[in-house]
Every structure is written in structure tokens, then in C-alpha cells.
């Protein structure tokens, strides 16, 4: 058996502690898999003295994370600090610069700084691996960069944020409001005290930018992702979607369009019998369409100590068994294209529309006429029961149309004198 | 760029032609992925002159497949002949013995002869790779052996045979009989003229034995798989399952039981809202439960030229980029245990039961009494509408019970004088 692989671990939060536990629990079995032991040489953490319920005996604590990069007895740095800048970025740059491989679960860092870090890793011929950054324990990075690498990818669609999926599941199954579903998620530890990045789509956009880079050969560009969050979704939207035969999801999509690569994160209706509709609570799933393989779906727990540790250790196993460093985003950095934001107007598909109008005669007809004039065909339309002379909600779905056409029609509807609030438009993804 | 990887390809059927097409189509993109070109040096096929719609210019034809193993200009042998013995086995043994890596899509060979081939590959420190053998293009071998390698696996459940899943989908959605669903599958090219191995569970058992080997560290042992096929399933079974909230699947399961590793392939009812129920037509899916990762599901097209070529070329890309040969079944051969067949009696779960009885008073009560006496609790029970004084079918589901207890109760039921034919017992998998 070869010499052990010695790691320096930065960050002993839930995930870091999970990695320590897994490596301790499963030492001999892991050594059988990769032909050598994986040892933790040193760790860094904000509070070295806190009891994490794990055995840290015999492991050096370093004072600052970046110190791990300089240690002679560290072969690989595992970065589990988080954040696109600060200590995490300083550590990863120092480690790669010192010729050490890095394993990270930091999606913000890989998405925001991948364009700087990938050439650094490739110049030093070391690994920069991030299986844990997207989809928790689901091996989707490996699927895109290795398992499906022979394919030209057409689309990647995913449910990439467990917090928002939990909220939508609660709203759909419990008929609860957004606010109470969020409170439930926080009570269960599925949402942080400040859940902004989960529910405004930022977290999903980071993950999508990484998947799009691997799938389409572009530099990760989270700022090129068109982003809409859950704000303003009502229980009516969820229940009407269900009645129309759909399930509401916060969907992340990357796809080739005539206008270029379109990356978008937004609420969307997916058919109730589609694999993505079956993704409940905190699960994640990614659908990948390739020209040879057809459609593949990969699904599992998107977060948590166990799944994330499973992904971090999978990366360590590959490094330990001598897999040579591969291009960080599937192709060597100079071969990646720039991801320019494609216009969302280039999107084609169906739409769900909610309107709140005054209860007066012929409003339904006016809505139908306005859409008809724009050549938008209505598929299903419903006006829920309401108290006479109070505001009326109208919900409808359309057949496939151009986003530009639909947006123009909605703009005309918004000017109708009976309208009480701005129309809500949600995309349908087949 | 390094020297090209030169392959010798045996078998130019649908899949072999797909591999040639993919390698020709995607040459530069593949070279970007792995740092070198992948070239076809030589091929063998039963009929060299047949037009396959692919460009074979500049490629040597060898007379017998085994000749590929001896060629100096072949680095890797790709075996797409099929069958557990004969030319396929002779070629793979010769290639490994000559120190050449092998990529194959041959599940029968890997399942039946893996115990001989793995030590041969490991002794010669070469690859024996078989991503295409299970789940078509779905990278499930890579998921089990790499992506989820840090986990202790608890269960693997899969829909591993596209032909039988197509037949069951047609029966469920079209309300057709088994015979006409099979005829439809044959007309569409999803079933062979002799579909025995697809519908009797042999094909799924081969694939399950391979997955179980990777998941549980045992020598593949298809003969240790308890196997029941689709024979005798009626449209009533399918429609009753649906009415009870389930979908009928030919399920392959490997799981740890108190009695050891239990491997089984048989029809099973899965909950209608479970991911496996959503697997339609010729799709495959595998659910893997690991202690750290939780439940992961991976789904996609289980057969066909495109998906299978995608998997073969993924294996070639790994070899081309210099990934070192790994143990063939996850651990080196001497560390694998023998897979002894566990007793099916050790299984615990719910059951679906169909009885055909004479139309006479108190038969329903007698059935309920017999089950009650055995302490089997009935969950749902239904007697479809029938013409008086003609045979009656009774269908029911039970709560979880021991297979041994259930089998004994069914044996008692079978002796009831009103019974017209042997009871049909089908397992429910939660």
C-alpha cells in the first residue's frame, strides 16, 4: 500500500465534522477502495475548542485556514469554509499556487471565482474538485464531466435548492402560505435565519453556472443567469398549477437557444407526471439531455452533513487512487467560451398567468381577447369561486409561444382598467 | 498532445456501429476531454461487407475477434459481441492476458465470468470496464464505484430491463394483455424475436449481480439471484395494483438481510408516487441507499445504440486520460466475499394477492379468516364486478409481514375447496 494521502481540512461546521466522521468511521474500507489511507494532518476552525462530537485527537489545529496551504505534511486541502471570497478564496488560491490539490463544497467560490481558479489549478497540474458544490451527495459533477462526457449536451434542468423545494412542497401538500412554509423550514433547520440566497435563486444560480460550464464548455458566469425567486408566489398559484396538472418548482435551466446559451432560474410549472415533479422536500434532481444518451435524471439529497461528506470523500478517493488532474470544467481553461447572457425573449414554451381583476362583466372575455389578439392560445382557464363584488382571480395556461410575444400581451393586459395588481407570469417547462 | 489511444473493436452490430459513429462524429471534442485522440485501429465482425451506414475506411478488418488481442497496434479491446462464453469470453481473456485493457457492454459475460476475469485484469494491472453493461448510458457503474464509494450501501433497487418495463407500461396505460403488449414491443424493436431472457428476469438478474458486487463487495453471482419473470401476470393484476395506488414493475433488489445478502428479481408493486413508478416504457432506473448519502436515484434510457455507445466511450475516455486501473468490482478480487443466496423467507414487506374462486357464499370471509389466523393483516381488498355463478377474482394487499408467514398462509388458501387456480402472490416494495 502506498503512503497515506494527507489532507488539511478548513472548516469544522456540520459538513466539515461530517467529513471527519466519515474518514474515521470508514478508514479501512476507503483504503481498500483507493489503495492507501486518507489521513487528516491538520484542521482549521473558528473555534478550536467547541465540542463537535468527533474525535480530533492527534490532529494539529492551525490558526488561520491559509496556513494549511503551506504545510509540508498536507497533500490536499479540503475547503469547507464557504463564501466566494475571504478566507475560502485565499486558502484555495494559496493551496493551488503551492501545487496542492483542492477539494471544496463551495458553490459560490467555484461559480464566482472559477475563471481565476481553474487556470491556476491547470497551470500547477493539480486537482480542483467540487462534487459537493452541486446536488449534495448526488454525483452530478462526475456524471457531466466523465459519465456523459461523450455527449453534446442539449439542456440541463434542475431542482438545485433544497430549501426552496421544501417550501414549495409544503405549500403544495399542506396548502399553506409561503410565510408559514418558510417558518416550518426554519424550524426544521432546512432554511437559515436569513434565507435570502435560497429563496431569491442566488444559490441555484451559482450551481447552475457550474453545471452549465461543464455541460456547454463556458466559463462559469452566475451573473449571466436570469434569476427570479419565490417572492410573490401565492397558495393560489400552487393550487391552480396542481389543478391544471402541474407541480410548481424553482427550476434552473441551461439550454442552447438561437440566441446563445440561456441560463435561467425561476419558478416553473412542470408536468405532474414528470420526474422533476416527484422531487419532494429537500431533494435535488438534475435532468440532462445529451445527443447520444438521451434524457438522464439523477436525484437525491441536495444538502446536509452526510450527503455532502459523501461527495467530498468521493473526490478524495479519486485523488488518492492516482486519477490524474482533469481540466477543472471539462475542457482546459483556454478552450472555454465566455458565457454571454442570452435574451430570455428567445425562450419558447407555455405560460401560466394569474390576474387579479375587479368583478365586472366581460373581464374574462377581455382577457381572452387580448391574448387572442396577440395570437397566444389559451390551453386551460379557470376563475375560482369568489364572493360577488370582491376582486376576482383568473388563472390560465397557454400553449407554446414566444416569450417576447407573451411579455407584450401581458403588458397590454396590465394596462386593462379592471386589473387590480400586476399580472403574475410563470413559465411552463415540458 | 499524447499519442492516440488505439482500440480494437469486436462486434459491429447496432451498438458497435454506434461506437464507431460517436468516435468519428466527436473526435476533436473527445480529444479535448482526454488529451489525446481515440482511434479505431482494427475491427472484427461476422459480415465485413455489410453496409452499416458508417465510414470504416482506413480500418483493418481482422478475421476472428480474438485476433484483436494479439495486435501490436491495439491498446484497448472493445468487446461488443455479447454472450457469456464463446468468442466474447475468448477475446476478453486473451486481451487481458496480453496486458490490454478491455471495455465491454456484455452483462452476461461480466456477471457469469467476472469471478475469472477480474483477477486476470487485476494481475495484469489493466482495466476491465463495463459501464455499458448495466443501465445503458446511465453512469450507474461509475456512481457505485466512484461517486458513492464512501458509503456503506444498504439497498440497490432497479428497473434494469427496458423490454419488460415497456410491456408493463403498455399493459398499465393501454389496458392490454401481456401477449399484445409483447407483440407491440416486438413490432417496435424493443423486444427480440425470442424475448425469453428479458421477460423471465435473466437479463435483469445479470445486471443486478453486477450492481450487487459493486455495492456489497461480493463476487458477481447471477445464480444466487432469486428470479421470477412476468409469466402469468394478468391485466387484472396491473389494473388492481393501480387501483390500490401502485404501479407494477419488474424489480431487481439487492439488500442486506439478517440472513445475508438477498438478491431477487421479480414483479413488484411500487407506490404510484415513488420515483420508480415514474419510470416508463424502455427507461431504466436504479435507486441506491447509502448510509451517508441517503437515497439517490439515477434514471435514463437502458438500451439502444446511442446510450450504449455513450457509456462505452465514457469508459474509453477514462482510460485515455490515464486513470489508473481500479479493482474491477470496487475492491481487489481477493477481498470480495462469496455471494451465497439468502433465503427469500427472510424478506419482510407487504404483499398483493390474487385469488380465483368459485362464486359461493362466504368465500371472501374464508379468505380473510385464513389470513387473519396467520396474523396477516389485510390493508385493501377488492372483488371486481362479475357475472353471478361464474368464477370470481379477489385481489387484496397486506400490511408488512414475513415472507415465510405469508407463504404459509397462501399455501393454506391454495387448499381451500373454492379455489379454482393457484393464488398469485406479488411483493410490495415501499
* A18 occurs within a structural domain: yes
Query: Are A242 and A216 contained in the same domain?
Result: yes
Residues whose CB is less than 8 angstroms from the CB of residue A70 and which lie 6 or more positions away in sequence, other chains included: A94, A98
* A340 occurs within a structural domain: no
Query: Are A33 and A155 contained in the same domain?
Result: no
* A341 occurs within a structural domain: no
Q: A324 vs B326: CB contact, 8 Å cut-off?
A: no
Cβ-based contacts of B147 with chain A (< 8 Å)? 131, 139, 142-143, 311, 314
* Residue A319 near residue A129, CB atoms below 8 Å: yes
Residue B368, domain CATH = 3.30.70.260
* Residue B236 near residue B395, CB atoms below 8 Å: yes
Q: A310 vs B29: CB contact, 8 Å cut-off?
A: no
What's the confidence (pLDDT) of residue B229? 97
pLDDT in tens, B240-274: 999 999 999 999 999 998 889 999 999 999 999 88
Which domain-ending residue is among B278, B302, B326?
A: B302
Query: Are A271 and A230 contained in the same domain?
Result: yes
* B341 occurs within a structural domain: no
Q: What is the dihedral of CA A184, A187, A190, A194, to 10 degrees?
A: 100
- What cell does A415 get? 394596462
With a cut of 80, say whether residue B174 has pLDDT above it: yes
What's the confidence (pLDDT) of residue B360? 87
Cβ-based contacts of A285 with chain B (< 8 Å)? 297
Q: B293 vs A301: CB contact, 8 Å cut-off?
A: yes
Query: Are A106 and A231 contained in the same domain?
Result: no
Average pLDDT over residues B359-364: 87
Query: Are A119 and A160 contained in the same domain?
Result: no
Residue A130's DSSP bridge partners are: none
For residue B370, give how far its alpha carbon lies from the nearest alpha carbon of chain A (Å). 38
**How many whole angstroms from its chain centre is CA B92?**
22
Calpha distance B344→B403 (Å, rounded) = 7
Q: B331 vs A292: CB contact, 8 Å cut-off?
A: no
pLDDT in tens, B60-106: 999 999 999 999 999 999 999 999 999 999 999 999 999 999 999 99
Query: Are A149 and A128 contained in the same domain?
Result: no
* Residue A105 near residue A134, CB atoms below 8 Å: no
Nearest C-alpha in B relative to A214: B33
3-state secondary structure of B394: strand
One digit per residue, the tens of pLDDT, for chain A of length 430 reads 689 999 999 999 999 999 999 999 999 999 999 999 999 999 999 888 888 889 898 899 999 999 999 999 999 999 999 999 999 999 999 999 999 999 999 999 999 999 999 999 999 999 999 999 999 999 999 999 999 999 999 999 999 999 999 999 999 998 899 999 999 999 999 998 899 999 999 999 999 999 999 999 999 999 999 999 999 999 999 999 999 999 999 999 999 988 899 999 999 999 998 889 999 999 999 999 999 999 999 999 999 999 999 999 999 999 999 999 999 999 999 999 998 888 898 789 999 999 999 988 888 899 999 999 999 999 999 988 888 889 999 999 999 999 999 999 999 999 999 999 999 999 999 8
How open is the CA angle A126-A130-A134, to the nearest 5 degrees? Answer: 165
Calpha distance B365→B367 (Å, rounded) = 5
* B127 occurs within a structural domain: yes
Q: Which member of A142, A295, A327 has the closest CB to residue B147? A: A142
Cβ-based contacts of B5 with chain A (< 8 Å)? none
Query: Are A16 and A145 contained in the same domain?
Result: no
Nearest C-alpha in B relative to A276: B275
* B359 occurs within a structural domain: yes
A142 labelled catalytic: no
Query: Are B150 and B223 contained in the same domain?
Result: yes
Number of structural domains (chain A) is 3
Integer CA distances (angstroms), A130 to A36, A92, B81, B137, B190, in order:
21, 12, 38, 23, 39
Query: Are B20 and B112 contained in the same domain?
Result: yes
3-state secondary structure of B321: coil
Q: Which member of B152, B317, B332 has the closest CB to residue A149? A: B317
For residue A351, give how far its alpha carbon lies from the nearest alpha carbon of chain B (Å). 24
Q: A143 vs B146: CB contact, 8 Å cut-off?
A: no
Residues whose CB is less than 8 angstroms from the CB of residue A361 and which lie 6 or more positions away in sequence, other chains included: none
Residue B312, domain CATH = 3.40.50.720
* A201 occurs within a structural domain: yes
Cβ-based contacts of A292 with chain B (< 8 Å)? 18, 22, 137, 306-307, 309-310
Nearest C-alpha in A relative to B335: A32
ipTM of the complex: 0.94
Residue B77 has φ and ψ, to the nearest 5°, of -100, 130
Which of B30, B130, B296 to mutate to test binding with chain A, by most A CBs within 10 Å of its CB?
B296
pLDDT in tens, A124-178: 999 999 999 999 999 999 999 999 999 999 999 999 999 999 999 999 998 899 9
pLDDT in tens, B292-329: 999 999 999 999 999 999 999 999 999 999 999 999 99
What's the confidence (pLDDT) of residue A1? 61
Residue B249's DSSP bridge partners are: B268
Residue B223, domain CATH = 3.30.360.10
> The pTM is what?
0.96
Q: A296 vs B298: CB contact, 8 Å cut-off?
A: yes
Q: Around A21, how many Cα atoms within 13 Å sit in the side-chain half-sphere? A: 19
Integer CA distances (angstroms), B154 to A25, B141, B212, B332, B339, in order:
16, 16, 10, 21, 15
Percent composition of chain B: helix, strand, coil (DSSP 3-state, to 5) = 40, 25, 35
Query: Are B83 and B57 contained in the same domain?
Result: yes
What's the confidence (pLDDT) of residue A386? 83
Q: How confident is the model at residue B210 (pLDDT cuts 50, 70, 90)?
A: very high
A-B CB pairs within 8 A amount to 183
* B298 occurs within a structural domain: yes
Residues whose CB is less than 8 angstroms from the CB of residue A200 and which lie 6 or more positions away in sequence, other chains included: A227, A229, A230, A231
Domain that holds residue B195: 140-302
- What cell does A358 get? 375587479
Q: Which member of B26, B285, B293 has the closest CB to residue A137? A: B293
Q: What is the 3-state secondary structure (H, E, C) of chain A?
A: CCCCEEEEEECCCHHHHHHHHHHHHCHHHHHHHHCCCEEEEEEECCCCCCCCCCCCCCCEECCCCCHHHHCCCCCEEEECCCCCCHHHHHHHHHHHHCCCEEEECCHHHHHHHHHHHHHHHHHCCCCEECHHHCCCCCCHHHHHHHHCCCCCEEEEEEECCHHHHHHHHHHHHHCCCHHHHHHHHHHCCCCCCCCHHHHCCHHHHHHHHHHHHHHHCECCCHHHCEECCCCCCCHHHHHHHHHCCEEEEEEEEEEEECCEEEEEEEEEEEECCCHHHHCCCCEEEEEEEECCCEEEEEEEECCCHHHHHHHHHHHHHHHHCCCCCCCCECECHHHCECCCCCCHHHCEEEEEEEEEECCCCCHHHHHHHHHHHCCCCEEEEECCCCCCCCCEEEEEEECCEEHHHHHHHHHHHHCCCCEEEEEEEEEECC
Calpha distance B267→B201 (Å, rounded) = 9
Query: Are B203 and B293 contained in the same domain?
Result: yes
Calpha distance A86→B351 (Å, rounded) = 57
With a cut of 80, say whether residue B239 has pLDDT above it: yes
DSSP letter (8 states) at residue B134: S
Query: Are B296 and B173 contained in the same domain?
Result: yes
- What cell does B316 get? 474509453
- What cell does B14 get? 447496432
A115 dihedral zone (left: phi>0; alpha: psi -120 to 50; beta): alpha
- What cell does B3 get? 499519442
Nearest C-alpha in B relative to A307: B293
Amino acid at each position: 500500500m502506498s503512503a497515506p494521502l494527507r489532507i488539511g481540512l478548513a472548516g469544522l461546521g456540520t459538513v466539515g465534522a461530517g467529513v471527519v466522521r466519515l474518514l474515521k468511521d470508514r478508514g479501512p474500507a476507503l483504503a481498500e477502495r483507493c489503495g492507501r489511507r486518507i489521513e487528516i494532518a491538520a484542521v482549521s476552525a473558528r473555534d478550536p475548542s467547541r465540542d463537535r462530537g468527533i474525535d480530533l485527537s492527534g490532529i494539529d489545529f492551525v490558526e488561520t485556514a491559509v496556513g494549511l496551504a503551506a504545510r509540508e505534511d498536507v497533500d490536499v486541502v479540503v475547503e469547507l469554509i464557504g463564501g466566494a471570497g475571504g478566507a475560502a478564496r485565499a486558502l484555495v488560491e494559496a493551496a493551488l499556487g503551492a501545487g496542492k490539490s483542492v477539494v471544496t463544497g463551495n458553490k459560490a467560490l467555484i461559480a464566482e471565482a472559477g475563471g481565476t481558479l481553474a487556470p491556476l489549478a491547470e497551470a500547477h497540474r493539480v486537482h480542483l474538485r467540487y462534487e459537493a458544490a452541486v446536488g449534495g451527495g448526488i454525483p452530478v459533477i462526475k456524471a457531466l464531466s466523465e459519465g456523459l462526457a461523450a455527449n453534446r449536451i442539449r439542456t440541463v434542468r434542475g431542482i438545485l435548492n433544497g430549501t426552496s423545494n421544501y417550501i414549495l412542497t409544503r405549500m403544495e401538500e399542506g396548502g399553506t402560505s409561503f410565510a408559514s412554509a418558510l417558518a416550518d423550514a426554519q424550524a426544521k433547520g432546512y432554511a437559515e435565519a436569513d434565507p435570502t440566497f435560497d429563496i431569491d435563486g442566488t444559490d441555484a444560480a451559482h450551481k447552475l453556472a457550474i453545471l452549465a460550464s461543464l455541460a456547454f464548455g463556458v466559463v462559469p458566469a452566475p451573473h449571466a443567469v436570469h434569476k427570479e425567486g419565490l417572492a410573490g408566489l401565492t397558495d393560489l398559484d400552487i393550487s391552480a398549477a396542481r389543478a391544471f396538472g402541474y407541480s410548481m418548482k424553482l427550476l434552473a435551466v441551461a439550454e442552447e437557444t438561437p440566441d446563445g446559451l440561456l441560463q435561467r432560474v425561476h419558478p416553473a410549472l412542470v408536468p405532474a407526471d414528470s420526474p422533476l415533479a416527484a422531487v419532494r422536500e429537500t431533494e435535488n434532481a438534475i435532468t440532462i439531455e445529451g445527443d447520444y444518451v438521451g434524457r438522464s435524471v439523477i436525484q437525491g439529497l441536495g444538502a446536509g452533513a452526510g450527503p455532502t461528506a459523501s461527495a467530498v470523500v468521493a473526490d478524495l478517493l479519486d485523488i488518492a487512487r492516482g486519477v490524474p488532474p482533469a481540466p477543472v470544467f471539462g475542457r482546459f481553461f483556454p478552450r472555454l467560451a465566455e458565457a454571454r447572457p442570452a435574451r430570455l425573449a428567445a425562450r419558447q414554451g407555455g405560460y401560466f398567468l394569474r390576474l387579479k381583476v375587479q368583478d365586472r362583466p366581460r373581464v374574462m372575455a377581455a382577457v381572452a381577447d387580448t391574448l387572442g389578439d396577440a395570437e397566444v392560445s389559451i390551453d386551460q382557464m379557470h376563475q375560482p369561486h369568489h364572493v360577488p363584488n370582491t376582486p376576482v382571480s383568473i388563472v390560465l395556461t397557454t400553449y407554446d409561444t414566444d416569450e417576447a410575444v407573451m411579455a407584450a400581451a401581458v403588458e397590454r393586459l396590465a394596462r386593462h382598467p379592471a386589473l387590480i395588481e400586476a399580472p403574475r407570469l410563470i413559465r411552463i417547462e415540458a
